[in-house]
Structure 1
Amino acid sequence: MLLMTSFALVGSLAVLLAFWSAGIRRAPVSEPLLALLLGVLAGPVTNLVDIPDPAVTGLTLEIGRVLLAISLMAVALRFPVAGYRSVLRPVTVLLTAGMLGMAVLTAGLAWWLLGLPVALAALLGACLTPTDPVLAASVVSGGPAARQLPARLRQVISAESGGNDGLAFTFVVVALAATTGGSWSQRLAEVLWGVFGAALIGLVAGYVAGRAVRGAMSREEVDSGSLLIFALVLAVAVLGVGRLAYTDGILAVFVAGLAYNAVIDSRSRVSQQRLDDSLTRYLVLPLFFLLGAELPWRGWLDLGWAALAFPAAVLLLRRLPVALALHPALRLPWRDTLFLGWFGPIGVSALFYLSYSHEEGVRDPNLWAVGTLVVAASTLVHGVTAMPGRRRYAGLSQPQRRPSARTACDVR
């Protein structure tokens, strides 16, 4: 009965969003926010859905893992690889100094405002560091985004959200070693193999898959619909191989997507760019519905005044000061730096790493309560401000964007 009710509610929401697919891009809400609100209505408000607590983190972990894999494949295929090369410098800065700065600032806020132990605060900071690719897609993809934001800014946000989801694994594993008291040498080996092994698996899988698709296209053995499904199953397959090899499967999928993108031709790429809108906009709904239905309200209330102060401090201080400090190194216009400094939403990736930490033995209830509080706040705030923020940016921009900067996934 519980599953049937959940399926009925999420399915009905997906149908309504499909009918309103164009309007939702112009509305001051996002699909994840609507799913979150529906979950709150079905869970705490009406008690239609009540999932046992032990099952919540396990479901969140596995749903989040698959959703991240599909989302990162979509990110890798959103632009031609040449477009990603043009933003290599700012993305590299954000994935190194930027991630470190965000992790340290978030951990410091958790230690200061919440009184968490240093190790647990560091783990929370690591989990909340990555920019979410699903929530970021609502800001940078679609027709309104293509008209209001320059292609280069959208490429920076996309590439960063793809790269830092996988690289956050290194921060989380190091923080887990401090939290659980595990062997530092073992954790270091896990980090090194997790990153370099994932890169190797992703490169090989993406290259082989790309060559296979090019060969099939030259023989006219596949159509555009098959290519779309192929990108989906490639993401899931690489995720599985990465996990079996004990590497960072999330990073492996993103690298595989970039390698695959570099090999396939333009016809194949245009067909598979629809992965962004066709799947990720709807696959995210169950996870945020689950989050809304099982939000730890009692844990939030136990935080007292910090339940308001900490999310506000994270949203204001986690990313924007770091972006402003790195402005000279980013070499972006000031308005671009301000925009990407604000739009760094926290969502699926944070939920995944919070659940992963729980599965790795960190059972402190504060980690899950505080982490989900920030995710809910980010989903609300960034979902509501995305459309006005894009319009404000477009109003400040003088030159008109050229149509050639748009991709197939932007035209809808």
Structure 2
Amino acid sequence: MTTAHWFLFVGALLLVMGVTPTLLKRLPITPAMLYLAVGLLMGPTVLGAFSFNPLKESALLEVLTEGAVLISLFSAGVKMPVPFNLRQWRAPLLLATLSMTLTVGLVSAFGVWALGLPLGAAILLGAIVAPTDPVLATDVQSRHPGDRDQLRFTLTCEAGLNDGSAFPFVMLGLGLLGLHNLGENGTQWLVLDVVWATVGGITIGVLCGVALARVGWWLRGAPRRHELLDDFLGLGLIGVVYGLSEWLNAWGFLAVFFAAVALRQTEMRLSRRAHEVAEAEAAAHLPACAPDGGPASTVSQGALVFKEHLERLSELMLVLLLGGALYRDSWSWAAVGLALFLFFVARPLSVFIGLLGTRAISPVRGMTAWFGVRGIGSLYYLMYAIQHGLPEPLALQLMQLTLIVVAMSILMHGFSVKPLMNLVWRRGAD
């Protein structure tokens, strides 16, 4: 396809998506399913109008997927309920740690025994496909900062957390393949890649998020009344937090998610405090220092809409490329078998074990067990491994397995999301 053809193709697809949102809401399909279908039709599977080689373009695809995940993590973070409640966060924390570990272990066992992979490659495969996706799972995630639905919160928070908690297993797999230094008896991996990178990422994110919230609130408040470009501030926060985390060898995905959470939590806490002061002054018949209760807008609110638009555009681009990377012979029994094992065995089992002892109701557990959507995050981890020296034969094998897992997740979870979510809502209303 020439440049002119690409402009016509993508432009026509954007026009179609722009005029059919109401129709798509009524149909049992998701935008990602439509993008994948178009990619398969135009790609080497059917017409062969274009093709995309993830192995040759791994550096480019790593950057594209990295950016898409970061934007989605920020959007997920600012949608977290306010105020922070550790009891409410217990379920997603367990899912992102215990359930994540169990999923990696189960997929690793499947990789060794059923696929014949070496242990390091099997662990790497488990780390690649274990995390749920914050980009493609928007239909089952929180829709706005005030969304109090327990299922949506659990899935959104889990997706925000486990894109960072999977990284230690990626490094463990690379280390067992001789591509990363684990240290004697794994001590360096445990201290640096698990403890420091996790704690450091969370700390960096929280500190930066709180700092931006306070500076933004101070600049917007009386008597300064500065106008702020929230879109730039949101992107700037992502860039600074992620760059600082990478520089200090902390997990940047975790840092960006917690920066967004801290930004939103701090802004809402400042807003409540300002309203309380204004109400107290009004009750005492005193002139209020901030009669409107503080600034009307916040950085998190202003940046969210722009980030969601970027998220939709990145979803379109990357899923189209996914369709262009698949051939008819990509659908091997090994790849399909891995996807079915992940969706029907590893994910449900790890979720039910992880949520034992929590107060999650049965419908929430069942839906959480099923809607472990895999997507752009898995593609990023794969490209990350390739860029860190994964041998080409092994890279091709893991690439075929991962692409089919993501494609089947888009199709299977996409077809089921609207009927199952509507069923849960109807039961909840009865």
TM-score scaled by length of structure 1: 0.86
- Point out the structure with the larger helix share: 1
Q: Structure 1 pair 292/203, CA: closer, same or farther in 2 (3 Å)?
A: same
User: Partner of 2:281 in structure 1?
Assistant: none
Residue 219 (structure 2) aligned to one of 216, 219, 223: 216
Q: Structure 1 pair 142/193, CA: closer, same or farther in 2 (3 Å)?
A: closer
Q: Specify the code of the residue in structure 2 equivalent to 1:116.
A: L
Aligned counterparts, 1:247-396, within 5 A? 247-265=250-268, 267-268=297-298, 269-275=300-306, 277-295=308-326, 297-298=328-329, 300=330, 303=332, 305-363=333-391, 364=394, 365-396=396-427
User: Partner of 1:179 in structure 2?
Assistant: 177
Is residue 131–residue 346 contact of structure 1 (8 Å, CA) maintained in 2? yes
Is residue 202–residue 252 contact of structure 1 (8 Å, CA) maintained in 2? yes
Is residue 202–residue 254 contact of structure 1 (8 Å, CA) maintained in 2? yes
**Could you tell me how far apart the structure 2 residues matched to 1:111 and 1:213 are?**
52
Task: Specify every segment of 5 or more residues in structure 2 that has no aligned partner in the other structure, as ranges.
Answer: 272-296
My pick for the range that moved more, 105-114 or 329-338, is: 105-114
Q: Structure 1 pair 310/238, CA: closer, same or farther in 2 (3 Å)?
A: same
**Could you tell me how far apart the structure 1 residues matched to 2:120 and 2:241 are?**
32
Q: Specify the code of the residue in structure 1 equivalent to 2:181.
A: S
User: Partner of 1:89 in structure 2?
Assistant: 90
RMSD: 2.5
Deviation at 1:227, TM superposition (A): 1.9
Q: Structure 1 pair 152/297, CA: closer, same or farther in 2 (3 Å)?
A: same
Deviation at 1:308, TM superposition (A): 3.0
Deviation at 1:79, TM superposition (A): 3.0
Largest Rg, 1 or 2: 2
The one-character-per-residue Cα deviations of 1:261-296 (angstroms, maximum 9, x if unpaired) are: 122246424444435643322321111111111125
Deviation at 1:397, TM superposition (A): 1.9
Deviation at 1:167, TM superposition (A): 1.1
The one-character-per-residue Cα deviations of 1:219-249 (angstroms, maximum 9, x if unpaired) are: 33226xx324422332233223333333322
Task: Specify every segment of 5 or more residues in structure 1 that has no aligned partner in the other structure, as ranges.
Answer: 400-412
Deviation at 1:199, TM superposition (A): 2.1
**Could you tell me how far apart the structure 2 residues matched to 1:326 and 1:201 are?**
27
Deviation at 1:7, TM superposition (A): 4.7
Residue 203 (structure 1) aligned to one of 166, 186, 206: 206
Q: Specify the code of the residue in structure 2 equivalent to 1:20.
A: T
Is residue 66–residue 236 contact of structure 1 (8 Å, CA) maintained in 2? no
Q: Structure 1 pair 84/175, CA: closer, same or farther in 2 (3 Å)?
A: farther
**Could you tell me how far apart the structure 1 residues matched to 2:247 and 2:70 are?**
15
User: Partner of 1:407 in structure 2?
Assistant: none
Aligned counterparts, 1:122-271, within 5 A? 122-142=123-143, 151-180=149-178, 182-185=180-183, 186-188=188-190, 189-218=192-221, 219-222=224-227, 226-265=229-268, 267-268=297-298, 269-271=300-302
TM-score scaled by length of structure 2: 0.83
